[in-house]
Structure 1
Amino acid sequence: MALVKDSILLQLVRGTLGKQLTIYERNGQIIMAKKRGPSMKKPTKKQLEARYKMTIAAAYAKAILQDPELKAYYKLLAGPGQNAYNLAIKDAYKSPEIQNIRLEEGTVVVTAKDEFRVVEVDVRVHDAAGAMLERGKAVLGRNGVDWYYKAGYLPSGGKVVVVAVDLPGNETPRELKLE
């Protein structure tokens, strides 16, 4: 790899020359490098998982382009050099994050974030034996981050299981033990 300083010829050239040399620009610098070919190594398990995840994300992004409302939503969030397809892939690739679960006077308060949007939070209350006592959807609070679920009964020794779901359908579960 070579960094090109002041070359009038290479200021305008980008791409591959003769299947041997690649010229590209990164962070404002022109770089010349040997053309890379496909790897001869067997992919690792993590690489295969990442490829599968990217395949799912790309399929989601293609489906999003068919829905005018969702396409407009992603397009609205796009910055310079981005488009709705790129952002849909980014959204599908990353699951929402549950930052906190707390109890406030019989109400389960869940702080859930996603780079784009959390669309629902499902709350399940289980007793000490693991049997589900109740289940319902939490309601989004005014701050756009906290979700509220009024529980009928919170048994000691039981647990509250919370699942946050984002726009592409990625789910993130988390549980809180009741004492």
Structure 2
Amino acid sequence: MAIVKDNILMQLVRGSLGKQITIYERNGQIIMAKKRGPSRKKPTQKQLEARHKMTVASMRAHIMLEDPQIKAYYESLTGPGQNAYNMAVKDAYRSPEVQNIRLEGQEVVVTAKDEFRVAEVEVKVIDGDGVITERGRAVLGRNGVDWYYTATALPADGKVIVEVRDLPGNRTVKELLLT
């Protein structure tokens, strides 16, 4: 790969020269590189899974960017050489993370994190027989990371199931056993 500087001829040329060289522009710089061809190796299972995950992320990004407010949000996060689509794909590729679930009396406190933004946190309280006794959405705290849900009752042999979603709709589910 070579970065072309101060060459009047190359300022106007873009594309491939035969099957040898590709000339393109990235971040305002002109780059000449060896033309790459398709791989002759059979893709591994991990590569196939990553390709599928990227296809899904791309489709979700296209759908999200139809909303002007979400598109403006992603545009506000772009850096040099990036656009709203890049940010939306990056967000759709990764799921949010539930870092911690703790109880403070009757309040369930969920610490959730996403590289961009956690959209909602849903809490379900389940008794020992597996019956959902209550469910509802948690409210975001002042620190922007902790979500609070006040339960009416926490059964001693039950569990709390927390579902965290981000803007693209990726879900992460985690549970806390009550003792």
TM-score (norm 1): 0.83
Cα contact 2:165–2:172 (8 A) shared by 1: yes
Cα contact 2:161–2:176 (8 A) shared by 1: yes
Shift of 1:23: 6.4
1:83 paired residue number: 83
Cα contact 2:159–2:175 (8 A) shared by 1: yes
Q: What SS does structure 2 have at the residue aligned with 1:157?
A: coil
Q: What SS does structure 2 have at the residue aligned with 1:81?
A: coil
With over 3 angstroms needed to count, the CA separation of the structure-2 counterparts of 1:7 and 1:112, relative to structure 1, is: closer
1:44-83 correspondence to structure 2 within 5 Å = 44-83=44-83
1:109 paired residue number: 109
Matched, 1:138 2:160: no
Unaligned stretches of 5+ in structure 2? none
Unaligned stretches of 5+ in structure 1? none
Q: What SS does structure 2 have at the residue aligned with 1:98?
A: strand
Q: What SS does structure 2 have at the residue aligned with 1:53?
A: helix
Aligned partner letter, 1:48: L
**Bigger shift: 168-177 or 51-60?**
51-60
2:168 paired residue number: 168
Distance 1:84 1:74 in 2: 5
Distance 2:166 2:59 in 1: 16
Aligned partner letter, 2:172: T
1:127 paired residue number: 127
Q: What SS does structure 1 have at the residue aligned with 2:37?
A: coil
Q: What SS does structure 1 have at the residue aligned with 2:43?
A: coil
Distance 2:3 2:50 in 1: 36
Q: What SS does structure 1 have at the residue aligned with 2:75?
A: helix
Shift of 1:22: 4.7
Shift of 1:109: 0.1
1:93 paired residue number: 93
Cα contact 2:64–2:168 (8 A) shared by 1: no
Distance 2:5 2:146 in 1: 55
Shift of 1:39: 1.8
TM-score (norm 2): 0.83
The total of aligned residue pairs comes to: 176
With over 3 angstroms needed to count, the CA separation of the structure-2 counterparts of 1:105 and 1:90, relative to structure 1, is: same
Matched, 1:154 2:150: no
**Bigger shift: 36-45 or 95-104?**
36-45
Aligned partner letter, 1:84: A
**Bigger shift: 155-164 or 62-71?**
62-71
